[in-house]
Chains A and B, each alone.
Chain A
Amino acid sequence: DSRIQYERVGADVTMKCGSMDWDAAVTWTANGTDIDDSHLNGSYLILKNVDLTRSGQYSCYEGSSWHLKYQTYLKVGVPPKEPVLMCRSNNYPKGFYCSWHLPSPTYIPNSFNISVIHGTREMVCEKDIFPKNRCHIRYLQLFSTVKYKVTLTVTNALGKNSTTLTFDEFAIVKPDPPESVVAKPVPNNPRRLEVAWQNPSSWPDPESFPLKFFLRYRPLILDQWQHVELSDGTSHTITDAYAGKEYIIQVAAKDNDIGTWSDWSVAVHATPWTEEPKHLTTEVQITETTSTSTSSFMPPPTTKICDKGAGVGSGAVAVCWTAGLVLAAYGVLFI
């Protein structure tokens, strides 16, 4: 008959060949490979100080007939360490969720049981399908003076462990980071950047439960952040950016009155508006004055005008060409 056997790492395992006598002649295999006689004590298989590599299928065959007398699947593992539990309300005042994980693997299957007690009442924490190891609870009442007590127990074939969290309704409020953060330069303003964002979509009622925000920004080349706290609105204009430097910007959110700050949003990059370099404009002016003072019309060197838009792409080249033709046409007219 087939079965599963769980053993601890470091344990000594003795396997009996079913109902066979101790002095019967048997052969043991591990995952189909014969096991050396040195591990045998009569018909018993002795595995000392097992490690994870010992996991596998063990079979015992009667010596001569090669009948399968016993089979088991050995799974080597460890009992669970104290689990890590976290509870958080990112959707206040709807409710909260708890999520957990084991600090290190057990190598064998574990089952989790979570209990939530509020005063004298036991509440049901509904398990989420995804992600696993997470469950959520809806608040039945708001502004509770009684703490919530959440106990997570993890059990496997080799042991169990648990951890408990006790908290006030207000203490676990932590919104998700703001969404859709966008930063843009402001035309004709070399020291400004316009930043805009949205409330996290998981926050259900920003009207009655407004959020406040924390903005941080720095040029990529510096380590020091600058901070702005904003109690209103979902946009802000930075007015002290270093000209021409690329900036990294992030925003965090918090309920106006309770709980803690969210994690930082995804970082956005932006560089303030910069003016076009001045020297090109002056060259064109000089060329134009020279051409007007002479009697015969000379089309100004089109290359200089085209340099202005040189970086923009093939479209600019087409424009330059057309400009050259037009100027040549005018030149012909005046001759």
Chain B
Amino acid sequence: GDSWGIFAFLCAALCHLPAVPALNGTEELGAGQSIQKTYDLTRYLEHQLRTLAGTYLNYLGPPFNEPDFTPPRLARAERVPGATVDLELWRGLTDNARLAANYRAYSRLLCYLRALDGQAGTAELRHRLGHFCSSLQGLVLSIAGVMSSLGYPLPAGPTAAPGSPGAANDFLKKMDEFWLLKELQTWLWRSAKDFNRLKKKVPPAVVTLRLEARGF
């Protein structure tokens, strides 16, 4: 009860930090190049996460750091947005929906990851987490840049999920953290595929025309 209140406060505070992206720079790049940049960022983050997750899971201790650990996903209120999706549904997503799903997911994930920051074990781990959060922030901004250069509205900023139950005990809290990292990892794998699809579908020429029109 008490811990949830603190968590909610932290999340709200951290998430309402200015997240409005600086649009001027990315518009000049053109959507095609921005998508490539965003794709590259997801690959970089996925690589960083491998080391970070390993260290963090070791900090959580067994069974979380066991390779075959396959806990059932508890039917708790979905605080962390899921990457899992039906294949045909995923294929049929519009560019806008695809980008928006990524934007919402990483905004939320960033929020929860930042909340971990203050509690994690060693100073080194906290430093690594901090670095990762900065990179993740960069990804959120990059996605926002792509959306705005394509003329799509940004989804509403992330808010702490109201009324969702906090972790009742230490083990469940660790379980939440395990799933947070797992979801983050899966999203990064999914995003590579999302941005691959976007790369093919967004012709850079279209965007150049738009930019020229704006110049007049």
Contacts and interface: CB of A to CB of B under 8 A. Distances in A.
Interface of A: 93, 119-120, 139-147, 149, 166, 170, 207-210, 256-258
B63 to A, nearest CB: 13
A146 to B, nearest CB: 6
A170 B85 contact: no
B73 A143 contact: no
Overall SS of chain B's interface:
helix
B196 A145 contact: no
A147 B90 contact: no
Contacts of A139: 87
A210 B196 contact: yes
Given A256-B196, A257-B192, A143 B186 contact: yes
Contacts of A258: 189, 192
A258 B83 CA distance: 16
A141 to B, nearest CB: 5
B72 A143 contact: no
A142 B70 contact: no
Interface in B157-190: 179, 182-183, 185-187, 189-190
A146 B71 CA distance: 8
A142 B90 contact: yes
B84 A142 contact: yes
B176 to A, nearest CB: 13
Given A210-B196, A257-B43, A257-B192, A145 B83 contact: yes
Interface string B57-99: 0000000000010101100000000111111001100000000
Contacts of B196: 208-210, 256-257
Nearest to B185: A145
B193 interface: yes
A140 B89 CA distance: 11
24 contacts: A119-B72, A119-B73, A120-B72, A140-B86, A141-B86, A142-B84, A142-B87, A143-B83, A143-B84, A143-B186, A143-B193, A145-B82, A145-B83, A145-B84, A145-B182, A146-B70, A147-B68, A166-B68, A208-B197, A208-B200, A209-B196, A257-B46, A257-B193, A258-B189
Nearest to A149: B70
Nearest to A164: B68
Contacts of A257: 43, 46, 189, 192-193, 196
A143 B98 CA distance: 14
Given A142-B84, A144-B84, A166 B192 contact: no
A109 B197 CA distance: 49
Contacts of A142: 84-87, 90, 190
Given A143-B83, A143-B193, 17 more contacts: A93-B87, A141-B84, A142-B84, A142-B85, A143-B90, A143-B187, A143-B189, A143-B190, A145-B182, A146-B70, A146-B73, A208-B193, A209-B193, A209-B196, A257-B46, A257-B192, A257-B196
B87 A170 contact: no
Contacts of A146: 70, 73
B99 to A, nearest CB: 16
Interface in B179-216: 179, 182-183, 185-187, 189-190, 192-193, 196-197, 200
A119 B87 CA distance: 18
Contacts of B72: 119-120
B10 to A, nearest CB: 24
Contacts of B90: 142-143
A256 B194 CA distance: 13
B84 A208 contact: no
A143 B179 contact: no
Contacts of B86: 140-142
A144 B70 CA distance: 12
A232 to B, nearest CB: 11
A33 B68 CA distance: 56
